[in-house]
Structure 1
């Protein structure tokens, strides 16, 4: 395979992590602007209910597109280990199966989303005055979701090839386009939520088409070869087992959003949903460096696991946790001192400006320790161990945060929703430490 891919087994771990994590971080940062820009523009130009509507709709779109993300992460784990073991044909076959699975499942879910849009929106919290605005937005972006699914499949696969810069470019293009189109469609054409949805949908399409171009060009060695589109039972099973971790995680996040929006609406009304909408966008953007470290970790760890280089794997785990924890601490300190200024970017509504700062600070309290959760789950995905990866993935959103977000507000009102986040982070981090330490002691002995 490529010299760059082989470097994953020979270069200094610190250099590799920076080389892989920096483009991933930049890409995630810029890609998150797709959601942030929509929220800023609709908040400033349309109103508070528009923020609440986007908060309801985007988890639905990302639940569908997470099919592609899961297939991408599951397949990239197989590809990384295959490259490390010198099995190029398996890598090519895996890629072909990734493409087929993504296209089939994404289109299927879009059809379902179109036929059952109102019940789905109601389930995710589009109630009262939020529903008509959410319906208008959802009716447009649903057509961009298959492109987003393909992009989310292709992105980790490109990184598995050892080409993180191209993965970064794929995420930057739609974010820049979305900013430009939002201004044109919302500000100048006055198309409201329909215009915001159209801008987002076009940006998704640009991302998917760029990744398709990459795989069709000479830049990629994982060519789109028709014979590899035929689904192979063994490959599909392995992709589903490993990628299912990411899909289930997004499913847990979607269930969490249902519970959160229920609790937020019940104990705080539309305003609390808008408050969380702002906090959620800030989280997506500010945590991008930590997410970038975990994304950079995957190909480095996967390649060296495949090559049986245990010492390099242990070093990758240790340094990834250190780098991510330092970044998480910096992020928390920034939120601590500049939370009011951050909120001003999204809205000038007096109620939101009064209620959001304290809630956001609580939600971010455990940010310095969250890297352990991400690296713990990512390690088991890279190693091809689906069950422990699934367990660690579900710890925060599924096992802890969902019940906490449902029960705490019963006793502490809207504050219970905000405190459920740091409590879930701390509990899941403690368990992840125990599980990962046990795995390292048992299966990563010096060779």
Structure 2
């Protein structure tokens, strides 16, 4: 009972509730990013054919991204609905949403695993494999796919842990898998001399440990909402709501991958390998400095969703205010640091003089007006938290598919721009997409909250 009161987001400070979730969630994401970097460093140090092995792993990334996207579809779709139901005091419905999401993860995980095993060879060649690199990609993917259900469960169900207010438990889910992988990687890759297969085995074992941890928690007495067999029977309307709301996160994952492929292809044709390397560094820097924004916006969702369900509309507005001030303040500061000290950030990933020289102006273009990306993430986060799926889906598509993708192709055709056109597509999309998303959120959500707050005051 004490834990349930502690995780009642309608009580206490709204800002305090958000920060209490944000700190462990951001740390978990940081550990996950470090885990990905260290994983590639290990494979890049295989004594023989390290470059081919690393390339083989890279060829598998679109398939890995697809698995993660489906985990987000059900996790990010179900968790906000779960928070809203819990805020309304509908614990049974909240558990049913979580149970239905788990069933969808399992069914989709099996389907994905079978599909990828059947078509892995043509897919890998489609993603750029050659007869030389295919064996490495095949070795890794054949083993990795065995852990598909673990990826779906560990990533997807962690959203339901965080939505109940157990940020530390959610953090430990990620930390457990990441630390296990960092320890097991060198053992399987080097000590047992298994190469990329060893990396895949280490990954599957690590994902399994995370899954066991999270299922033990969600079926145990500490959880406010428990994962029960009785809640796993699918109901069409519930599935539709989960999938509809989760489509925003799903499309963001998929479109990010597609846009990256498009950027690399355009840069390859206009500037060659050097500028593909520059884009890799820009994406790596963005991934790191964007972590606090992701942690904050993701942490705010269960708090705002709970209060929206509990009809505490003033507290939802407090959450939006804090989110706006904190994220805009941070991104303005980050933009200033990147603009003033680009070489420092580039050197985190590479010291080659020619690449650094090309990356400095590209970084200043790419991160121009970085705070506008925060506006996109704020608006998107609020729409998802309050269950407004149509707006969430539209704005997730607007920036990447409708703005970035065409500009990435068209801007480099302008003679004066060339490769800079690819880097310019990002800030242009941030200004247009960010402003549109944030202003629409204020127009729709803020007015609705104010109206409901006034109606509640008249009762």
Secondary structure at 1:142 match in 2: helix
Cα separation, 2, equivalents of 1:139 and 1:187: 20
1:397 is aligned to 2:400: yes
Q: Is the 8 A contact 2:317 2:446 kept in 1?
A: no
Q: Is the 8 A contact 2:65 2:254 kept in 1?
A: no
Deviations along 1:104-125, one digit per CA (max 9) or x if unpaired, are: 1022112212222233234445
Cα separation, 1, equivalents of 2:433 and 2:409: 18
Secondary structure at 1:223 match in 2: coil
> Deviation of residue 388 (structure 1)?
0.6
> Deviation of residue 71 (structure 1)?
0.8
Q: 1:34 matched to which residue of 2? A: 35
CA change 1:339–1:378 in 2 (3 A) is: same
Structure 1 residues 13-32: aligned runs within 5 Å? 13-32=14-33
CA change 1:323–1:422 in 2 (3 A) is: same
CA change 1:126–1:324 in 2 (3 A) is: farther
> Deviation of residue 327 (structure 1)?
2.3
CA change 1:50–1:246 in 2 (3 A) is: same
Structure 1 residues 171-320: aligned runs within 5 Å? 171-186=174-189, 188-189=191-192, 191-320=194-323
Q: Is the 8 A contact 2:144 2:204 kept in 1?
A: yes
Q: 2:435 matched to which residue of 1? A: 430
**Greater shift in the superposed pair: 267-276 or 283-292:** 267-276
1:382 is aligned to 2:396: no
Secondary structure at 1:70 match in 2: helix
- Provide TM-score, normalisation by structure 2: 0.88
Deviations along 1:58-85, one digit per CA (max 9) or x if unpaired, are: 2431222221212111111111111111
> Deviation of residue 435 (structure 1)?
0.4
Greater RCO, CA 8 A, separation 6+: 1
Structure 1 residues 402-421: aligned runs within 5 Å? 402-411=405-414, 412-421=417-426
> Deviation of residue 9 (structure 1)?
0.5
Secondary structure at 1:221 match in 2: coil
Q: Is the 8 A contact 1:44 1:347 kept in 2?
A: no
Structure 1 stretches of 5 or more lacking a match? Answer: none
Secondary structure at 2:101 match in 1: helix
Structure number with larger C-alpha Rg: 2
Q: Is the 8 A contact 1:40 1:345 kept in 2?
A: no
Q: 1:119 matched to which residue of 2? A: 122
> Deviation of residue 414 (structure 1)?
3.0
> Deviation of residue 158 (structure 1)?
0.7
> Deviation of residue 53 (structure 1)?
5.1
Cα separation, 2, equivalents of 1:339 and 1:236: 46
CA change 1:243–1:206 in 2 (3 A) is: same
**Greater shift in the superposed pair: 240-249 or 348-357:** 348-357
**Greater shift in the superposed pair: 289-298 or 19-28:** 19-28
Secondary structure at 2:146 match in 1: coil
Q: 2:457 matched to which residue of 1? A: none
CA change 1:290–1:90 in 2 (3 A) is: same
- Provide TM-score, normalisation by structure 1: 0.90
Number of equivalenced pairs? 446
**Greater shift in the superposed pair: 91-100 or 205-214:** 205-214
CA change 1:420–1:22 in 2 (3 A) is: same
Cα RMSD, aligned residues only: 2.7
Q: 1:87 matched to which residue of 2? A: 90
> Deviation of residue 272 (structure 1)?
4.2
CA change 1:267–1:383 in 2 (3 A) is: same
Q: 1:11 matched to which residue of 2? A: 12
Q: 2:330 matched to which residue of 1? A: 327
> Deviation of residue 42 (structure 1)?
3.9
CA change 1:168–1:192 in 2 (3 A) is: same
Cα separation, 1, equivalents of 2:205 and 2:40: 17
Structure 2 stretches of 5 or more lacking a match? Answer: 455-459
Cα separation, 2, equivalents of 1:444 and 1:297: 16
> Deviation of residue 213 (structure 1)?
2.0
